[in-house]
Structure 1
Amino acid sequence: MSRESQTARIYRQPKSAMQSGRARTADWVLAFAPLGPKRIDPLMGWSGSGDTNAQVSLRFPSQEAAIAYAQARGIPYDVEATPVVKADIKPKAYADNFRFGRTENWSH
């Protein structure tokens, strides 16, 4: 199993479904695709493979940096461009609940 036959996937990591924050979504990730299906160990029943590159996940600040890394090492790659979703988050302060002349309803 050679590294050249293994394709890398370059993508922007999506927002976590478990939290509302968007931390770590600006980075681009280079991850290797698995070479084959996992096999089940007959003794323990665990699944695994001898492919250690499938465990590698590298982070880059930009798409160009990830592509340059793959090209410099001769790694074939596929780029999955995902649109960046900007949230309209208005910063609020606790003191705004007691501001004079506020027009919104009380939050509690």
Structure 2
Amino acid sequence: MSARIYQRPKNAMQSGKARTSDWLLEFEPAEAKRPDPLMGWAGSGDTQQQVVLAFESETDAKAYADRYGIEARVIPTPPRKLKLQSYADNFR
């Protein structure tokens, strides 16, 4: 059972940064998804894919994974790139 630990990215549809400080532990898929013969929806028998745990810090998430014997890899948070421009730049 392996998992990945990462920080929630900022929502591109909104300007707020709510819940972006949370660290998530998400299990990696154990089996591939396959289409349902009747409806055509994608699904699998792996119920671990539905579990997403939120933690306040990266160390809390790592400690949880170590306590329960979960092989977890940490995905570092990419640096935020700000594009600073003024309103007048729209008319150049």
| 2:35 aligned with 1:32 | no
4+ aligned runs moved over 4 Å, structure 1: none
3-state secondary structure, aligned to 1:82: coil
Alignment of 1:16-55 (within 5 A): 16-55=11-50
Corresponding letter in the other structure for 2:62 = I
TM-score (norm 2): 0.82
Q: Unmatched 5+ residue regions in structure 1?
A: 1-5, 88-108
The separation in 2 between residues aligned to 1:19 and 1:60, in whole angstroms, is: 22
Alignment of 1:1-108 (within 5 A): 6-83=1-78, 85=80
- The one-character-per-residue Cα deviations of 1:38-59 (angstroms, maximum 9, x if unpaired) are 0111122111001010110000
The separation in 2 between residues aligned to 1:55 and 1:19, in whole angstroms, is: 25
The separation in 2 between residues aligned to 1:80 and 1:9, in whole angstroms, is: 7
Structure with the largest fraction of strand: 2
TM-score (norm 1): 0.71
Question: Aligned-residue CA RMSD in angstroms?
Answer: 1.6
Q: Unmatched 5+ residue regions in structure 2?
A: 83-92
Q: How many residues align?
A: 82
Identity of aligned residues (%): 57
